[in-house]
Structure 1
Amino acid sequence: MKYWFQVMKDLEGLKYPEQIAFLKEEHGFSQAYANALVMYSRGSKSSKRFDTMDGFLKNEDDDKKKTIKKIFKVIQTKYPKGELVIAWNKPMFKISDKYVFGVATAKNHILIAPFNADAIDALRPKLKDYKVNKKTIEVPSDWKVDEKLLLAIVKESISHVK
């Protein structure tokens, strides 16, 4: 986060739309993530909507709830010293205060995200059956969680943050 706070400090003189455009175009941020960072850097705490996983899942359909719970159960079982937190209004998994994995939802799918795009590049051959974006991997809302692949993604992400 220190890096992103510095980026925002460098953008301080720009107007909101320019800051959003920069984050989206230069760093591949979604509108939601760009807005959260810009608003936070401007002092707003109102963008925080969820404090818990239950709060995050409250308005999701049953398939997404089941899939997301399974995703984090698999990760937490393998990495019991890690911590499930809500950051940027999304469930994230941290190890030693480093974000390594997160989940976001869209209307018709779930996005899983190692916290380092290099992890996606390293595993690209294993991801051929999925839609791979710049920093996220799209899985169906009713995804039968591929535990082996999921743990490989998290392991690779961890290797890039240590």
Structure 2
Amino acid sequence: MEAFKSFLDSIDNEAHKEKMESLLKWVAKTFPNLETTVKWNQPMFTDHGTFIIAFSKAKAHFSVAPEAKALNQFTTKIETAGYSQTNNLFRVKWSQDIDFSLLKAIIQYNIDDKAECATFWRS
């Protein structure tokens, strides 16, 4: 989690910081083969140099960005979980529970779908 220290330290609200740290630790533990990095001030997880998922913070929520293809695949489940969505991310209010089974499915989808991907982003 050392890679994410500066990002986590930038979260002023202690409860939000703890929630984000818990989430990042969960991803790292659940998917130990993923690499960690920070780009564009967002903690990211990558696999063989290709993007898998990123997170960002805002005042009222944090965002989850798994790329548009994964979002399109999981739109109904994201809506069912009560999260709002754009073309490139979905938002989890700080007051909402994290749907870990949904996150696990999205991350696994990206790992599987991008197994042969040789670029950071999908083309």
Question: What is the TM-score with the length of structure 1 in the denominator?
Answer: 0.63
Q: Does structure 2 retain, via aligned residues, the 8 Å contact 1:82–1:94?
A: yes
Distance 2:60 2:43 in 1: 18
2:109 matched residue in structure 1: 156
2:118 matched residue in structure 1: none
Unaligned runs of 5+ in 2: 116-123
Equivalent runs, 1:37-116 vs 2, <5 Å:
52-60=3-11, 61-114=13-66, 116=67
**What are the superposed Cα offsets for residues 22-80 of structure 1, whole Å, 9 maximum, x if unpaired?**
xxxxxxxxxxxxxxxxxxxxxxxxxxxxx831111112122221221122222112211
Q: Which runs of 4+ in 1 moved over 3 A?
A: none
CA deviation after TM superposition for structure 1 residue 159, in Å: 2.9
Equivalent runs, 1:21-36 vs 2, <5 Å:
none
1:125 matched residue in structure 2: 76
2:94 matched residue in structure 1: 141
Q: Name the amino acid aligned to 1:126.
A: K
Q: Does structure 1 retain, via aligned residues, the 8 Å contact 2:8–2:21?
A: no
CA deviation after TM superposition for structure 1 residue 86, in Å: 0.9
Q: Name the amino acid aligned to 2:56.
A: A
Q: Name the amino acid aligned to 1:155.
A: Q
Percent of residue pairs bearing the same amino acid type: 24
Q: Which has the higher strand share?
A: 2
Distance 1:150 1:139 in 2: 11
Taking structure 1 as reference, are residues 100 and 158 closer, same or farther at Cα in structure 2, changes over 3 Å only?
same
Distance 1:125 1:58 in 2: 34
Q: Does structure 1 retain, via aligned residues, the 8 Å contact 2:64–2:90?
A: yes
